């Protein structure tokens, strides 16, 4: 066999027959099978991830359910509120000027009349000097007018005497007396102008004094809003490079508590009623207090009435805007039943299948617990049935939180 015949035989073996092509065509393309296999792998992978995540705990924030009547058997009601200052002021300049000195900072204790800041006095000192010069000139005009009046009065007296002797005419004497009247009017004008100039001096002195900003009462600086070099004004609250307020001062002796009481229970609260206040920051510290007044106006959106409470104990740990829980104590002779149930944050009560529930954290898991709710007390909700005091409940539970799911409680504001 020669080389040519060998090549023909090889080509014949490599040629695909009609039957073989038809058989391969009947099986269809292979890419759908490949795509299906990829999808199956992805589904299995997702299921594996979901299975792995089932073992991870959901991070939640919790709160403790507290007795609605407080820890004292004499307490008839609880409410929440905040520490507020009845006496505080935002200090600002009474004139426009550039700050050249700021002598206080946040947290500084100041006394009444203490210098807090100074403005550039150059322009106002110049105004005062100009006003003083004008006042001096006006006083000189008064002296001049008074001297002329005295002289013309003497001349008029002489003319009247000469008229009696026949030395001068009556017309000349009348002219001399008219001049006296004119001089008297000029003196009166000069005196009034001098008084106006004096008032201008006083006004300029006041403006100059306004360049020194002082504390209106004793207290603590809680905010400083301007620095050296800034232009301050009594008319502008920030913007355009001009600052409004310089600092905020709070009289710590005027601190009290404002709480919202559900209007359904406001009849239990009376003026001078003893109260026990507990700061959220110091839960083991009970502060004696009493009711100052019940504000005669209800908040229709919350169905609550504001109550002012005086703190009988002053302490530097008490600062404005602190959260407070108060227990209204039963007065002697009162016959109120303690408020039933417990109080929890409003966000802890959610709807599941049309029912009110809370999620109680126990042994690392969230247990869905049906509850019966009562009234609202500021940001708290009364739970009359289904929950005991001391229970740890999830605040604002996620919508997908399930009964029995593992949870991890936040501590210190972080996970």
305 vs 307: CA distance, rounded Å = 7
- What's the pLDDT score for residue 49? 46
User: pLDDT tens-digit profile of 85-119?
Assistant: 999 998 988 899 999 999 989 999 999 999 999 99
3-state secondary structure of 151: helix
**What mean pLDDT is predicted for residues 217-227?**
91
How many H-runs (helices) and E-runs (strands) does the chain carry? 5, 25
Strand-pair partners of 255: 85
Q: Which residue has the tokens 């200090």?
A: 91
Strand-pair partners of 85: 255
375 vs 166: CA distance, rounded Å = 109
Size of the chain in residues: 415
**What mean pLDDT is predicted for residues 125-144?**
95
382 vs 110: CA distance, rounded Å = 43
Q: Which residue has the tokens 């005669």?
A: 296
Q: What percentage of the chain reaches a pLDDT higher than 70? A: 79
**Higher pLDDT residue, 131 or 164?**
131
Q: Which residue has the tokens 């209007």?
A: 263
Indicate if the pLDDT at residue 376 is higher than 80: no
Confidence band for 301, pLDDT divided at 50, 70 and 90:
confident
Indicate if the pLDDT at residue 10 is higher than 50: no
399 vs 413: CA distance, rounded Å = 21
232 vs 87: CA distance, rounded Å = 23
Quote the mean pLDDT of the chain: 82
Pick from 27-41, 122-136, 300-314: least confident: 27-41
First to last CA, the chain: 86
**359 and 24 Cβ atoms separated by less than 8 Å:** no
**69 and 375 Cβ atoms separated by less than 8 Å:** no
Confidence band for 311, pLDDT divided at 50, 70 and 90:
very high
Question: Which element (helix H / strand E) includes 370?
Answer: strand 365-370
Confidence band for 52, pLDDT divided at 50, 70 and 90:
very low
Among 269, 249, 314, smallest CA distance to 287 is for: 314
8 vs 4: CA distance, rounded Å = 6
262 vs 299: CA distance, rounded Å = 10
Pick from 6-20, 52-66, 80-94, 260-274: least confident: 6-20
Q: Which two tokens stand for residue 203?
A: 């006004």
Query: With b meaning 16 or more CB within 10 Å and e meaning fewer, what string describes 194-217?
Result: beebbebbeebeebbebbebebeb
User: pLDDT tens-digit profile of 173-189?
Assistant: 788 889 889 989 999 99
């Amino acid at each position: 066999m020669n080389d040519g015949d060998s090549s023909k035989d090889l080509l014949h073996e490599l040629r695909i027959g009609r039957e073989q092509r038809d058989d391969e065509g009947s099986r269809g393309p292979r890419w759908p099978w490949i795509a299906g296999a990829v999808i199956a792998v992805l589904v299995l992978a997702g299921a594996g991830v979901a299975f792995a995540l089932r073992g991870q705990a959901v991070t939640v924030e919790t709160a403790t359910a507290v007795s609605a009547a407080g820890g004292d058997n004499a307490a008839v009601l609880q409410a929440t509120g905040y520490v507020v200052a009845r006496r505080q002021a935002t200090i600002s300049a009474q004139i426009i000027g550039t700050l050249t000195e700021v002598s206080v900072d946040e947290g500084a204790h100041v006394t009444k009349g203490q210098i807090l800041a100074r403005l550039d006095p150059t322009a106002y000192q110049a105004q005062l000097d100009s006003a003083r010069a004008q006042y001096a000139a006006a006083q000189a005009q008064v002296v001049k007018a008074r001297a002329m009046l005295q002289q013309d009065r003497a001349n008029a007296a002489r003319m009247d005497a000469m008229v009696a002797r026949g030395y001068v005419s009556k017309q000349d004497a009348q002219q001399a007396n008219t001049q006296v009247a004119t001089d008297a009017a000029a003196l009166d004008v000069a005196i009034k102008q001098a008084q106006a100039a004096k008032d201008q001096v006083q006004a300029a002195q006041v403006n100059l004094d306004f360049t020194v900003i002082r504390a209106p009462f004793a207290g603590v600086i809680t905010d400083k809003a301007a620095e050296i070099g800034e232009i301050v004004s009594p008319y502008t609250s920030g913007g355009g490079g001009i600052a409004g307020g310089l600092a905020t001062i709070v009289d710590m002796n005027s601190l009290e508590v404002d709480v919202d009481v559900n209007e359904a229970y406001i009849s239990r609260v009376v003026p001078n009623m003893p109260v026990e206040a507990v700061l959220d920051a110091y839960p083991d510290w009970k502060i004696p207090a009493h009711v100052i007044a019940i504000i005669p106006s209800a908040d229709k959106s919350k169905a609550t009435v504001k109550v002012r409470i005086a703190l009988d104990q002053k302490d530097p740990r008490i600062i404005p805007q602190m959260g407070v829980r108060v227990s209204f104590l039963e007065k002697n002779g009162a016959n109120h039943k303690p408020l039933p149930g417990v109080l929890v944050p409003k966000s802890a009560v959610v709807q599941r299948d049309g029912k009110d529930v809370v999620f109680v954290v126990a042994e690392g898991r969230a247990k869905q617990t049906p509850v019966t709710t009562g009234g609202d007390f500021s940001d708290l909700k009364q739970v009359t049935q289904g929950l005991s005091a001391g229970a740890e409940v999830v605040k604002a539970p996620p919508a997908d939180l399930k009964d029995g799911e593992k949870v991890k409680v936040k501590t210190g504001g972080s996970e």
